[in-house]
Amino acid sequence: MNPPKIHTLGELKQQGYRPQSIQDELSNNLRDRLRKGLPTFEGLIGYENTVIPDVERALLSGHNINLLGLRGQAKTRLARQLTALLDEWIPVVEGSEINDDPLDPISRQAREIIEKNGDATTIGWLHRDDRFFEKLATPDVTVADLIGDVDPIKAANLKLSYADEQVIHFGMIPRAHRCIFVLNELPDLQARIQVALFSILQEKEIQIRGFKLRLPIAPQIIFTANPEDYTNRGSIVTPLKDRIGSQILTHYPHSRDIAKAITAQEVTMNNTVQNNIHIPELARDILEQIGFEARKSEYVDPKSGVSARMSITAFENLISAAERRMLVNDESSTTLRMSDFLGVIPAINGKVELVYEGEQEGAEQISYHLIGQACKTLFDDYFPTIKKLQKEDEKSPYDALLGWFFSNNDLFLEDNLPADVYRDTLDTVTHLGAVVKEHQPDLDDKERYFFMEFLLWGLEANKKLNKYRTLEGFQFQDGLGNLINDL
């Protein structure tokens, strides 16, 4: 949409324009959306009843906000979507460095332009997409970056004192006047720089090299922070926290269904490839359960968290593992297999921070362990629970299947077996298909063989079978049976 056809201050006055702060602008537009039943934010799955209502309350209160949460909890995405609550266009004084409102200018430059030209002052229009500023708080950020500094060249050319407003080179926050300014990872900002933000948030003043300037800058400031940073890298100084109106806690998905919806929304894969690869719903559940297992694992640092990006990249790797196997075998379509989950290990390795015990085990071993734990957790949803203690004469639904392995039989599944060979290999295991059919009778062929392999992984996770990894694939066997036969 094109900007309004108003080019001068006089025309703007005739239209009845009234200046308003960005806080009023956000709250008024939010009220309008809430009355009409329109969503405030799009794509923030799982936050509908927790984070989003808190943000809406903070905006209605006109607060600056601190989004506090572990990595991968959509804090930055939420902040970026605030632009949708802004008016599409706002007027600014043409030539103003800090987006001065024509009817409420705050800079000396804009006031002089209006005083000189009066109602003929040229008006520009700023689109809401251009009203978003973002800065990552790193230790090397300076006061000059955020607030501004004296420009000695400008002072010399204009023959002005350093105390004159006209010789200031404004930083990001003054340039974000009437805009949304997001400062990510606030605790990483040096304490002395945080102190410089006090007067902007409370007194609407800035101080540059000892020169105090009354400049009622009015951005909507959104901070993001990770609780880990409070103890490991830095902290938010207490007076600054006291000046932030609302601190809102973000969180990870509360259920697998929510996590699956987020992954499905965020994953970027070739649609043609996905259409040629059948993905059992159980495979999606296992993938998301890996993240839940990681967040409660004794090997993973809980203060660091496990980003939702792990599931997204892991899903992309999972599909790519199946696609690679399909290409190697010159097949036009395929179905995911449990062995394809080895392809997600590189995605897990880079997304979890291990404690000392985890580092001793090794990142790859921990990733492999998390996959096994996910299978163990989901096993009881599809097959009878394996009891830890079982009476001597008590029968188990897995006795016949385990008996086949006990009789010195084993199964070796190569990673890249063609589909027909893969199915034939699984069919050689006596009673494996029968157990799956008894407890999951409604599966089609694509799903049945995935469940057959999942059953073996679940038995191994419950310590009923041994599973060994070789360079080519997986070997399943009963270690006790082989030992007795060897004896």
pLDDT tens across 427-455, in order? 999 999 999 999 999 998 889 999 999 99
Mean per-residue pLDDT, 260-289: 90
> pTM of the full predicted structure?
0.86
Mean per-residue pLDDT, 465-478: 90
Q: How confident is the model at residue 148 (pLDDT cuts 50, 70, 90)?
A: confident
Complete DSSP assignment for 97-146: TT--BTTB--SHHHHHHHHHHGGG-BEEEEEGGGSEEEEE--TT--HHHH
Would you state the structure tokens that stand for residue 346, as one six-digit string? 């590189």
- pLDDT at position 65: 95
- pLDDT at position 393: 63
- Sorted by where each starts, the structural domains of the chain and their CATH numbers stand as 9-249 (3.40.50.300), 269-382 (1.10.8.80), 396-487 (no CATH)
Q: How many CB atoms lie within 10 A of CB 72?
A: 18
How far the first Cα of the chain sits from its last, in Å, is 83
Q: Range with the lowest mean pLDDT among 5-14, 124-133, 394-403?
A: 394-403
As a whole-number percent, the residues of the chain with pLDDT over 70 amount to 91
Query: Does the pLDDT value for residue 155 go beyond 80?
Result: no
pLDDT digit string, tens, across residues 177-190: 999 999 998 988 88
Q: How confident is the model at residue 27 (pLDDT cuts 50, 70, 90)?
A: very high
Query: Could you give the CA distance from residue 376 to residue 373 in angstroms, rounded to a whole number?
Result: 5
- pLDDT at position 482: 47
- pLDDT at position 481: 46
- pLDDT at position 44: 93
Query: Does the pLDDT value for residue 342 go beyond 70?
Result: yes
- pLDDT at position 165: 67
Better-scored residue on pLDDT, 371 or 197 = 371
- pLDDT at position 485: 45
Are the C-beta atoms of residues 225 and 184 closer than 8 Å to each other?
Answer: no
- pLDDT at position 211: 64
Averaged pLDDT score across all residues of the chain:
88
Query: Does the pLDDT value for residue 68 go beyond 50?
Result: yes
pLDDT digit string, tens, across residues 215-244: 788 899 999 998 865 544 568 888 888 889
Would you state the structure tokens that stand for residue 470, as one six-digit string? 């070789």
Are the C-beta atoms of residues 79 and 188 closer than 8 Å to each other?
Answer: no
Query: Does the pLDDT value for residue 161 go beyond 80?
Result: no
